[in-house]
Structure 1
C-alpha cells in the first residue's frame, strides 16, 4: 500500500526447498534438459508471512504447519514450472497442482519427455495438443470478440488439465453460432453450461481503498515506481487517464497516467512525491504482507486477495488466460480463481505467498455464498507502463 511513513512488516516463518541437480546417464540432449529442469532451481526461499495464516485457515482449512508446507511446495513448483516450460518448448502443454499435494503435474505432447519427468519425481500426462495450440485457438475467439462481444457467452479459457478451450454458455445454440463464425477449430473447444456471471467489481485497497474523482471507490493493487516516482497499479475500469485518485480522508494521492478497459483491465496512478511506495499488502487483520517479487504461481496454488470491501480472502488459482465477456466488453488474458470478492474490491492485490500475482478485475457471487473472481496478471501491467514493482 502507499503510506506516508515506513511501516513495520509482519513477522514471518521462513521455509526453503533445496534440490540437487541430476541428469540420467546416457540421456539424450532433450532428456538431459528436461531432467535438469526438474531439479535446476537453486534454493527457493519462500517465507510464509504470518499475516497469511488466519485467512488460509478460514478459507482453505490449512493449519499453520500445513500452510508452511504447502507454500514451500508451491514455491518449488513455480520454479520447476518455468524451467520445464523452457526445456520442453513446443512440447509444453501446461502444468498444475492438486489440492492434495504440491507435486507438479506436467502435460506434454512427447511421451519420452513424460517418462523423464516421472523419473525426476514429477507427474506427467501425455496429451494431444500443446499449450501453444490451445492458446492460438483461444486467440481466434478473442479476435472474434473484439468485433462484437458475444451474448450468452460470459467466459472462455484454456483448461490445461482438460487440454481444451472451455467456453461457458447460457445459450448453447447462440454460442455454437458464434464459434462457427469465429473460425476456431471445434475439436479444440468444449462448450459447458455457464456457472459464472462476471461483472466488474467497482462501487461507483496493496488492498487499501482509494477514491476516483471524489466519487467511485476501488482498491490499490501494488505500489510501483517509475523513474523513482511512486505510484500504484489497479484495475482499468476504476478510472481513466487524467482521473484523480484520493485517500479515504480526501488527501490527494495522484493522477491516473494510463488505463485500458475493456480489452485489458489495468491502470496505473502516479502518486505525489509526498507518498512512498511500500512493498506491502494490507491483510485486514492489523498487519501487512511484504511483496518480494512477481513469480507466477502454478494452477492449483493458493492465492489471497486484499480489497477494501471484503478485506482478505483466499482460494486457489483455477485457470490462466481466461476471456471474460463483461457487459462493457471483453477482457482477455485474465486468471480465474476460487476467491470471493464484491464491488469496491476492484483493483486490489492478488498474492501467492510473497509473490504478487495481479489486480482484481471482476467476478461472480459474493463472500457470503462464495464466488469466482478474475485478476489481471501484474507482470503485463508492469511491462506495459515501464513500472518497477515495489519489493522488500
Structure 2
C-alpha cells in the first residue's frame, strides 16, 4: 500500500481517536453531547465546498446542514402520520423545512405536528409508485433518459433528450407511459452514461483496464458501482498491488457491487476530501430528502456538492435500465464511478453515472447505500 494511503489511514485513526477523546472530555465536564447536526456543521471543509458549489454563505451552509439533519427525522414521522394519503416529501431550502404532500386534508394537523409543512396533491405515493412500476415494464429507446416519481408535480416525470424529443420511438414511449398513470415530460441536455474510465493515474482502484472509485467501507471490504466489475474479478490499488475481488455485482437493473479487502489493505469509516475539504467521518446512512444538499467524492474530480433532485428514478443507460436511483445536481466525470455520495456525516450511495462534466456542469445518479447493504447483508463501517 502506498505511503499516502498509510498516511491517510493514520490521519483517519487520529481523527477517530480525537472524536473519542472529545466525547470523553464532554462526559467529564457534564456538558451536553454534540448532536449529529452540530458535528456535520462543524466541518470547515464541508462548509467551504457547499459555499463553492451551492453559492451559500458560511452561515447559510451551517444553518442548512442543521435543518437537513432535522428534516431526515421529520420525514420518517411525517410519513407515518400521513398514512395512506402520503404523497411524498422534499426539503425546501428557502424555509429550511420539510414539505410533505398528502391527498387527504384530514391528515394535515397530524402531519404538521411532526414539524413539516403540508401541501395537498392529487395522487398518493402508492399510486405514483404503481404507475412507475408499469412504466418500468416498457422498453425505452435511447432518447428517453429516465423516469422517476416526483412529489411536487404528483406525477411520474419522464425525461427525454432534447435532440431526440420528436423521434417516433420517443413519442411512442411517452404515449404508453401516459397510459400507465399521471406523467410529466421534461427535457434533458444529454443521455446519461456511466463514469468508469480507462487506466490513468490518480487515487483509484482498478479492475482489468477500468478505473473506478471506492464508495464506502463496510466490515470486510467496500461497496462500489456494479458496472465497474463482474463477480470474482480481481481488484488492484493505484500501484498495482492486489486488494481483493468483487464478491457480488449487479448491472444493469441495479448498479452496485462490493469488494473484499485484504493483503495489507484495510478499511476506515472515512470519505476522502482530497485536500479540497477535510476527510469526512461516516456516522450512519440516514437518507437525505429531495432538496437536501449532498456531496460526492471520486478519484477524477475529487469533491463536489449539489442537491438531491429526485429519488426512485429509472435511468436508461445504453447498457440497459437501472432502477431505484437517486438523481442529483452534482457533477462527475469518468473514473468517479463507484465513489461516495454523502450528506453531512450520513452515507447516501455510490456514484453510478450521469451527463455533463465538472467544467460545464451536469447531473449524476447514485445507487442508494441502504439497498446495497441489505442486498449483500453488509454492515456499514461507521465512526
Bigger mean CA deviation after superposition, 48-57 or 159-168: 48-57
Residue 161 of structure 1 pairs with residue 152 of structure 2 = yes
2:296 to 298, 302, 305: 305
CA–CA distance in 2 between the matches of 1:51 and 1:390?
A: 22
Cα distance, 1:150 vs. partner?
2.5
Cα distance, 1:273 vs. partner?
5.6
Task: Give the conservation status (yes or no) of the 8 Å contact 2:145–2:191.
Answer: yes
Aligned residue runs from structure 1 range 1-392, under 5 A: 5-6=9-10, 7=12, 8-9=14-15, 45-46=36-37, 47-48=39-40, 49-118=43-112, 121-145=115-139, 149-169=140-160, 170-172=164-166, 173-181=168-176, 184-186=179-181, 188-204=182-198, 208-213=203-208, 215-225=209-219, 230-272=220-262, 274-285=264-275, 287-392=278-383
Cα distance, 1:109 vs. partner?
0.8
For residue 31 of structure 1, what is the aligned residue in structure 2? none
- TM-score scaled by structure 2? 0.86
What is the total number of aligned residue pairs between the two structures?
A: 351
Structure 2 stretches lacking a partner, 5+ long: 23-33
For residue 21 of structure 1, what is the aligned residue in structure 2? none
Task: Give the conservation status (yes or no) of the 8 Å contact 1:208–1:220.
Answer: no
Task: Give the conservation status (yes or no) of the 8 Å contact 2:82–2:111.
Answer: no
Cα distance, 1:361 vs. partner?
0.4
CA–CA distance in 2 between the matches of 1:120 and 1:305?
A: 30
Task: Give the conservation status (yes or no) of the 8 Å contact 2:74–2:114.
Answer: no
Cα distance, 1:184 vs. partner?
4.2
Task: Give the conservation status (yes or no) of the 8 Å contact 1:140–1:184.
Answer: no
Task: Give the conservation status (yes or no) of the 8 Å contact 1:137–1:184.
Answer: no
CA–CA distance in 1 between the matches of 2:189 and 2:109?
A: 36
CA–CA distance in 1 between the matches of 2:189 and 2:85?
A: 31
Q: What CA RMSD, in Å, does the superposition of the two structures yield over aligned residues?
A: 2.3
CA–CA distance in 2 between the matches of 1:216 and 1:175?
A: 32
Cα distance, 1:247 vs. partner?
1.1
CA–CA distance in 1 between the matches of 2:268 and 2:113?
A: 43
Cα distance, 1:185 vs. partner?
2.6
- CA 1:285–1:174 in 2, change beyond 3 Å: closer, same or farther? same
Higher helix share: 2
Cα distance, 1:218 vs. partner?
0.3
- TM-score scaled by structure 1? 0.84
